[in-house]
């Protein structure tokens, strides 16, 4: 099968490219490398690379020609980034997704698997998060992700394009950039711990997340692109467990063999207090099962980061 991975040079995208090549798919990547990194693809030379931005309809149209499936990972992530620049977040995440869907429709692509976010649940306090809950986004980022979901549903309904939406919950793992001011919490904390620095927790640390190792997300995407009868469906992708940031720091300290004493700061605007997924729908329809636990995923990620730091790489 020929598969296009948008954002294939990114953290999640490069792991997807690697798995698809292992399973003997023909893989094409489009990435602007604004947030993705070329080095994520250096060992994946069998993938065809098109350098370009999903903001360009022409680029996406050309990249998707002849493909059966698109795994749409390209996005401008981060709630704080979206608060700082909501216009660019909208252009990339909403207009970019519309470009992908239009190109898929015009080129006869069978299915688009779209990477969405648990942030769309926002201010809805119900736990666990079930796909049928009313979204209540509270940041420009989560609004952009919800809007993109709407376009996926519309293209399924109006044009018959198969779309499957995956709502990711706090994904972490190797190749996640820890150095950006918009980096996710797990890679930032890992590198701080390995370098003997204090990580900063925004809030009291009792906010909880359904941390999900990247390999589980790859499994979900592979299932979503090939499972029949799931067009138009929406799935949570997570582990179905809840861990506070304070608990995560303790687990990280045990792995690195040092006591970590975080610095606490004011809660950030747009942050959700608690997140926990119900993954029953994905289990029932996709056969999805998280194979890597949070603890095992954290050990693997720490080992990768330590290796990168030891080798003198700029980022872990």
How confident is the model over 126-145, as pLDDT tens digits? 999 999 999 999 999 999 99
Query: Domain extents for the chain?
Result: 2-169+214-237, 172-209+241-276+292-310
Mean pLDDT, the chain, rounded, equals 95
pLDDT in the model for residue 271: 85
pLDDT in the model for residue 264: 95
The closest alpha carbon to 199, from 259, 270, 276, belongs to: 259
Give catalytic status of residue 141 as yes or no.
yes
Q: What is the value of pTM for the model shown?
A: 0.95
Average pLDDT of the residues in 26-32:
98
Fold of 2-169+214-237: Rossmann fold (3.40.50)
Q: How far, in Å, CA of 142 to CA of 122, rounded?
A: 7
Average pLDDT of the residues in 240-253:
96
pLDDT in the model for residue 279: 98
Contact 99, 54 (CB under 8 A): yes
Q: How confident is the model at residue 268 (pLDDT cuts 50, 70, 90)?
A: confident
Q: How far, in Å, CA of 243 to CA of 241, rounded?
A: 7
Contact 263, 188 (CB under 8 A): no
Q: How far, in Å, CA of 48 to CA of 166, rounded?
A: 25
Alpha-carbon dihedral angle through residues 302, 307, 312, 313, given to the nearest 10 degrees:
-70
Per residue in 99-114, pLDDT tens? 999 999 999 999 999 9
Residue 27 burial (C-beta neighbours within 10 Å; 0-12, 13-18, 19+)? buried
The closest alpha carbon to 283, from 227, 210, 215, 199, belongs to: 227
Q: Residue length, the chain?
A: 316
3-state secondary structure the chain: CEEEEECCCCHHHHHHHHHHHHCCCEEEEEECCCCCCHHHHCCCCCCEEEECCCCCHHHHHHHHCCCCEEEECCCCCCHHHHHHCHHHHHHHHHHHHHHHHHHHHHCCCCEEEEEEEHHHHCCCCCCCECCCCCCCCCCHHHHHHHHHHHHHHHHHHHHCCEEEEEEECCEECCCCCCCCCCCCHHHHHHHHHHCCCCCEEECCCCCEECCEEHHHHHHHHHHHHHCCCCCCCEEEECCCCCEEHHHHHHHHHHHHCCCCCCEEECCCCCCCCECCECCHHHHHHHCCCCCCCHHHHHHHHHHHHHHHHHCCCCCC
Q: Which two tokens stand for residue 253?
A: 């300290």
Q: Look up the CATH superfamily of 172-209+241-276+292-310.
A: UDP-galactose 4-epimerase, domain 1 (3.90.25.10)
Is there a common fold for 2-169+214-237 and 172-209+241-276+292-310? no
The closest alpha carbon to 272, from 125, 146, 128, 144, belongs to: 125
Average pLDDT of the residues in 60-84:
96
Per residue in 180-224, pLDDT tens? 766 789 999 999 999 999 999 999 999 999 999 999 999 999 999
Q: Are strands 69-72 and 111-117 parallel, antiparallel or unpaired?
A: parallel
pLDDT in the model for residue 182: 64
Per residue in 173-188, pLDDT tens? 999 988 776 678 999 9
pLDDT in the model for residue 165: 98
Q: How far, in Å, CA of 21 to CA of 135, rounded?
A: 35
The catalytic position among 141, 151, 213, 288 is 141
Instruction: Report the percent of the chain where pLDDT is more than 70.
Output: 98
pLDDT in the model for residue 184: 87
pLDDT of 116 > 60? The answer is yes
pLDDT in the model for residue 72: 98
Average pLDDT of the residues in 295-307:
96
Q: Which residue has the tokens 């309809």?
A: 57
């Amino acid at each position: 099968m020929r598969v296009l991975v948008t954002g294939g040079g990114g953290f999640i995208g490069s792991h997807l490219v690697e798995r698809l090549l292992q399973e003997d798919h023909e893989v094409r990547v489009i990435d602007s490398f604004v947030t993705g990194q070329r080095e994520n693809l250096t060992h994946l030379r069998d993938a065809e690379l098109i350098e370009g931005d999903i903001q360009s309809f022409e680029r996406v149209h050309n990249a998707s020609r002849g493909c059966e499936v698109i795994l749409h990972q390209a996005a401008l992530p981060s709630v704080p980034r979206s608060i700082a620049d909501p216009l660019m977040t909208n252009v990339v995440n909403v207009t970019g997704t519309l470009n992908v869907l239009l190109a898929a429709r015009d080129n006869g692509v069978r299915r688009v698997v779209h990477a969405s976010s648990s942030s769309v649940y926002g201010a809805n306090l119900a736990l666990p998060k079930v796909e049928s809950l009313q979204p209540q986004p509270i940041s420009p980022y989560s609004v952009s992700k919800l809007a993109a979901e709407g376009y996926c549903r519309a293209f399924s309904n109006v044009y018959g394009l198969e779309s499957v939406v995956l709502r990711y919950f706090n994904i972490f793992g190797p190749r996640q950039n820890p150095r950006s001011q918009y980096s996710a919490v797990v890679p930032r904390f890992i590198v701080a711990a390995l370098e003997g620095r204090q990580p900063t927790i925004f809030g009291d640390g009792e906010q909880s997340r359904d941390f999900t190792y990247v390999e589980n997300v790859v499994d979900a995407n592979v299932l979503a692109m090939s499972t029949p009868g799931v067009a138009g469906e929406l799935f949570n992708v997570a582990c179905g467990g809840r861990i506070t940031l304070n608990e995560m720091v303790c687990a990280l300290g045990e792995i690195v063999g040092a006591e970590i004493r975080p610095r606490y700061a004011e809660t950030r605007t747009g942050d959700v207090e608690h997140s926990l997924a119900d993954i029953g729908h994905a289990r029932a329809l996709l056969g999805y099962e998280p194979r890597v636990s949070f603890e095992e995923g954290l050990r693997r990620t720490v080992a990768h980061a330590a290796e990168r730091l030891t080798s003198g790489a700029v980022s872990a």
